[in-house]
Structure 1
Amino acid sequence: MRFSVLCLAIFLSPPLWADDEAMQLLSLMGTAVKEKNYDGIFTYQSGTKAQSIRIVHRASPKGNIEKLLSLDGAARELVKTDESITCIFPEGKQIQIDKRPLGGGFPSDLLSRLSLAVPYYSIQTGRQDRIAGRAARQLKVMPVDAYRYGYELWVDEESHLLLASQLLTQKGDVLERFTFSSITIGGEISESTLTPSRVGQQVTWERKQTEPVKREDIHQNSVFPELWRVAWLPAGFKLVAEQSRRRVDKDLLVEQRVYSDGLSAVSVFIEQRDKTQQHLEGASKMGAVNAFGIVVDNHFITTVGQVPEQTVEKIVRSIEFAKE
């Protein structure tokens, strides 16, 4: 999964607390990802489940490309470019569009997301450590409130590439962990190394640029004539995407809105109520992802996100229905 260029916004919108060394390290990470090739194996762990994955990444002025191959269980592959994502499922099972293949890959995009979210996190350097036999510097990214998770990152001191990350609760409990066990940095990455080596069902998603949605555009284009208003969001969370669709099986309308501070994100789903269908009411948790569902004015409303439970509950309970 590609690293992205560090945005200038990280300097124009400084976090509430960041030491100079931490900011310099972020800048060096932004440069490294544009220039470094690497080939390694990392472990993704969420709760009691773990996966070993090989990743091959080639940086180029024409765009980054990388391949991920699962080393445990079914030999799934994922090839990513700046424009598309292609997944291969050799086991022949039905492709699940909403499934996160290979644990979502290595979280290389943390850098670009962090550049947009720095006002809502404190960023400091920590201890020196060793990851995959390489000297690494710890980087602590802690939220300014209790409505989002924090991160601990380990950055290679020589190449300035990300070697490990941990997603943390406010108490410091680890929810999700990515760690390289071995990595080779530099050298040529051949085209054949990046070509899928498996045969199976294949699906490709094309990347599309998105822009923040204007409130008047949402109301004008929404399939719902009524206005649903989210009365509370954590500081820094803004609407970044919105879509409406019709469920073919039930002929029911579903609206989705995505709110984000740049690093963390929450989806809100609004669906017409169907008394024959079971629906989440109350809290649900899967790894680092929390969800909370309620019924309002004959509609199911659900919030889902990689944020603490209190965040999804407070957001969904603030949603109001009001005709204009």
Structure 2
Amino acid sequence: MTRHAPALARRRLARGALALASGALTLLVTQALAAPALPDPRPSERHERTVTEWLSRMQEASLQRNYVGTFVVSSSNGSMASARIWHACDGQRQVERIDALSGEKRSTFRRDDEVLTFLPESRTVRSERREAIGLFPELLKPEDNAIADFYTARRVGADRVAGFDADIVQVLPRDGLRFGYRVWSEKKSGLMVKLQTLDEQGHVLEQAAFSELQLDAPVRMDRLSHMMAVPEGWRVEKADAVKTTPAAEGWGLRQPVAGFKPVNCYKRRAEGVLQWIFSDGLASVSLFVEDFDRERHLREGVFASGATHTLTRRVQDWWVTAVGEVPPATLRAFAASLERRR
């Protein structure tokens, strides 16, 4: 397996944190996975929103609310990670701090597309730019957004998460190329406070939810920005990824995978790795392409970690790794369609 695929899978927690920052999520105890939803006391009084209306409401809430919270992300394979997050926004700009409470000590700051990760044990700061910041829902531009063609949504009940009343919304795929979701949306604002990723049988692959949350917290954007200053004596590592296009690198798809639009493409010059990113507005897939190395690239196949699946395959003189929170069939479709054009 390429060394980049596990790293991307490990960034699931970071994605969960950023998803929280745009409207998502700590884990309740394992028994909570099977806890029944509370019945809706007034179902006839509620307007049934479309899938686009539900997701747009969740995304908009994330751009308007400050909050502080603790959350946990858990996978069906037993892995669990927690973090503390401070999020400030003004409707356009986003600033946040995420402190990992498990695993390696680290603090991650994001200001719009600028991301700094502080690693105190090595006195290192990793600096990068992320145009796509891993939000859920990561709705595409209106002219590109056909999410209603591939998902349905309906309200299935009510519940309480971290002390807040929430609507439970079931988001289901119309085909076998994507997973379903069960989303807890705070009633007043629409802010996502809990999220479950579901497989084809409705089993929970991954869950994230606030365990403690303070909405409209007095979090100041200027204070968070001030904390992004690099301490004296710390080393700064800048990502060498540069934006490019698949065509410029000699790659393309024979045919698109239904619902997935290309959103970005980067080349890591030092490592010679191309990353091509696709999204359908909820799920995302990354294709990594690099020169085949007989000593490192030993095993082809499909591997799973919670909702994240990884496919590795040799294509002529290249090694292809497809990673995404999608069923294996989706990764196979991408890998089969990828072709070298020069």
> TM range, normalised to the smaller chain?
0.7 to 0.9
Aligned to 1:110: 136
1:29/1:309 Cα in 2 relative to 1: closer, same or farther (>3 Å)?
Answer: closer
Determine if contact 2:261/2:279 at 8 Å carries over to the other structure: yes
**Alignment partner for residue 242 of structure 1, among 253, 262, 265?**
265
1:173/1:194 Cα in 2 relative to 1: closer, same or farther (>3 Å)?
Answer: farther
Query: 1:85 is paired with a residue of what secondary structure?
Result: strand
State the AA in 1 paired with 2:70: I
Matched, 1:259 2:289: no
- CA drift of 1:244 comes to 4.1
Query: 1:55 is paired with a residue of what secondary structure?
Result: strand
Aligned to 1:20: 49
TM-score (norm 2): 0.70
1:138/1:63 Cα in 2 relative to 1: closer, same or farther (>3 Å)?
Answer: same
Matched, 1:280 2:299: yes
Aligned to 1:42: 71
Tell me: higher relative CO, structure 1 or 2? Use CA pairs within 8 A at least 6 residues apart.
2
1:196/1:19 Cα in 2 relative to 1: closer, same or farther (>3 Å)?
Answer: same
Determine if contact 1:289/1:306 at 8 Å carries over to the other structure: yes
Query: 1:20 is paired with a residue of what secondary structure?
Result: coil
State the AA in 1 paired with 2:139: R
Query: Which deviates further from its counterpart, 196-205 or 284-293?
Result: 196-205
Aligned to 1:9: none
**Alignment partner for residue 180 of structure 2, among 147, 150, 161?**
150
- Per-residue displacement from partner, 1:236-262 (whole Å, max 9, x unpaired)? 2233333445555xxxx5443223323
Instruction: Flag as ranges the 4+ runs of structure 1 deviating above 6 A.
Output: 93-98, 197-200
State the AA in 1 paired with 2:253: V
State the AA in 2 paired with 1:289: T
1:96/1:78 Cα in 2 relative to 1: closer, same or farther (>3 Å)?
Answer: closer
Matched, 1:269 2:299: no
**Alignment partner for residue 85 of structure 2, among 55, 62, 66?**
55
CA distance in 1, matches of 2:101, 2:113: 26
Corresponding pairs, count: 287
CA distance in 1, matches of 2:194, 2:83: 14
Query: Which deviates further from its counterpart, 159-168 or 70-79?
Result: 70-79
- CA drift of 1:305 comes to 1.7
- CA drift of 1:81 comes to 1.6
1:203/1:127 Cα in 2 relative to 1: closer, same or farther (>3 Å)?
Answer: farther
CA distance in 1, matches of 2:22, 2:235: 24
CA distance in 2, matches of 1:33, 1:155: 11
**Alignment partner for residue 323 of structure 2, among 297, 300, 304?**
304
CA distance in 2, matches of 1:124, 1:118: 12
- CA drift of 1:274 comes to 3.2
1:78/1:203 Cα in 2 relative to 1: closer, same or farther (>3 Å)?
Answer: farther
Matched, 1:294 2:313: yes
Percent identity, please.
27
Unaligned 5+ segments in structure 2 are 1-17, 24-46
Determine if contact 1:136/1:156 at 8 Å carries over to the other structure: yes
